[in-house]
Amino acid sequence: MARVLSLLLGLSLVACSADLSPLPRDYNIPEIELTPMDSAAREEYLKVFPIVNLQGREAAPQITENGIAPFGVLLKLTKEGKPSACTVTHLWPGWVVTSAHCVIGHKKFGARNFFVVHFNKSLVKVHVPLESIAYVGNQNQDDVAILKISEADSQSWDSLGSELNTLGGSSEISMWSFDPVDREDGGTAMAFAPKRCLGSTKKPEVIGVRSNGRRDSVLGQVKLDPGQHLFVDHCTSTLVSGNSGSLITASGQPKKAFGVYHWAITPTAQAGEFQRFEYLGNSGITEILPNPPADGLFFGVGSILRWRSHSSLRGGVAEVATH
């Protein structure tokens, strides 16, 4: 189970550690035996859970470009009070998008044991349960979840109103993310930390170079599909746990959406036999990287958003393009 969890970013508040070896057969993680917190403890936790803005204050994380605050944090709570936390975006009124792996166990717990913490239009922090979960993709490929909140909750929260776009060749993108940060009291806050990166639909190449000069591709068996995935690198800050579910858009243009970020590819112990790596990613230039790379990862992976339009979301069901 630990090996499977190491492939995912944002499933729990731990350091990210994805895998260069082939994806295990049980990559579709089974439901985990967890018990929701009792109502009083859960309510208190949600009430004090901190969201920090760009200035480091607990306040609405507004987008510089347009002043709205459509981003929040999705929490799944356990009896022990150890939540998983992912970034979410209120994409259209009533519809919230994140990563599929962020709602693992939803059939067992029900949608109302998942909560979105965000700042409403009055800039007051609130927490709202999901009303339903409209779509959950296959985590191997389409790691996207479309979540429904109530009409009342929707009306009181900014929505982004994104248009779906196609990411062509390598270009600058924005990832609208929350990063987990440690607080002085020992707790954790989620700090709004949008990142500028390079992104494309072209699968990067990672070549491991041994001390004797032998060179081997280390991504040959990893299930990365350029027709399904977005590849993200050269970010202004490191991709970390909690970034899962972050909306990927054109650079500085939050209304031009491409996809949702989910996990990262990093070297593991099995890669220790290599002396260094040759990495060819979105810059188009082969880079020589040490083992391990300076920031601990090679690149991030997202899933392309494929449902056709707002009008296709009806009756709690999302229409998703087939492949």
Query: In which band, very low, low, confident or very high, does the pLDDT at 93 lie, cut at 50, 70 and 90?
Result: very high
In whole angstroms, what is the distance from residue 47 CA to residue 305 CA? 32
Domain boundary among 117, 134, 161: 161
45: domain CATH number is 2.40.10.10
In whole angstroms, what is the distance from residue 257 CA to residue 202 CA? 18
In whole angstroms, what is the distance from residue 229 CA to residue 290 CA? 26
Per-residue pLDDT, 143: 92
Q: Are residues 26 and 150 in the same domain?
A: yes
Whether 202 and 226 have beta carbons less than 8 Å apart is answered as yes
Does residue 4 lie in a domain region? no
| Domains: count for the chain | 2
Q: Are residues 150 and 207 in the same domain?
A: no
Does residue 309 lie in a domain region? no
Q: Are residues 135 and 52 in the same domain?
A: yes
Does residue 242 lie in a domain region? yes
In whole angstroms, what is the distance from residue 88 CA to residue 96 CA? 7
Beta bridge partners of 163: 256
Does residue 76 have a pLDDT over 50?
A: yes
Domain boundary among 161, 186, 218: 161
* Torsion angle of the four alpha carbons 171, 238, 60, 70, in this order, in degrees rounded to the nearest 10: 40
| Mean pLDDT, rounded, of the chain | 82
Does residue 11 lie in a domain region? no
Stretch (H or E) spanning 151: helix 151-155
Does residue 296 lie in a domain region? yes
Q: Are residues 236 and 180 in the same domain?
A: yes
In whole angstroms, what is the distance from residue 259 CA to residue 21 CA? 25
Per-residue pLDDT, 221: 67
Q: Are residues 69 and 115 in the same domain?
A: yes
Does residue 110 lie in a domain region? yes
Does residue 319 have a pLDDT over 50?
A: no
Q: Are residues 157 and 179 in the same domain?
A: no
Q: Are residues 137 and 235 in the same domain?
A: no
Q: Over range 18-38, report the average pLDDT.
A: 43
Q: Over range 129-147, report the average pLDDT.
A: 90
With tokens 């929701």, the residue in question is 36
What's the DSSP call for residue 170? S
Q: Are residues 141 and 230 in the same domain?
A: no
Does residue 282 lie in a domain region? yes
Whether 286 and 278 have beta carbons less than 8 Å apart is answered as yes
- Terminus-to-terminus CA distance in the chain, angstroms? 29
Does residue 128 lie in a domain region? yes
* Predicted model pTM: 0.84
Does residue 32 have a pLDDT over 50?
A: no
* The pairing of beta strand 84-92 with beta strand 71-76: antiparallel
Per-residue pLDDT, 33: 47
Domain boundary among 161, 196, 211: 161
Does residue 13 have a pLDDT over 60?
A: no
Phi, psi of 304 (to 5 degrees): -70, 135
Q: Are residues 135 and 156 in the same domain?
A: yes
Note down the domain range covering 156. Answer: 16-161
Q: Are residues 85 and 156 in the same domain?
A: yes
Beta bridge partners of 288: 278
In this predicted model, which residue has the larger pLDDT, 102 or 141? 102
Query: In which band, very low, low, confident or very high, does the pLDDT at 112 lie, cut at 50, 70 and 90?
Result: confident
Per-residue pLDDT, 209: 96
Q: Are residues 175 and 295 in the same domain?
A: yes
Per-residue pLDDT, 182: 81
Q: Are residues 103 and 137 in the same domain?
A: yes
Query: In which band, very low, low, confident or very high, does the pLDDT at 104 lie, cut at 50, 70 and 90?
Result: confident
In whole angstroms, what is the distance from residue 218 CA to residue 214 CA? 12
What's the DSSP call for residue 112? G
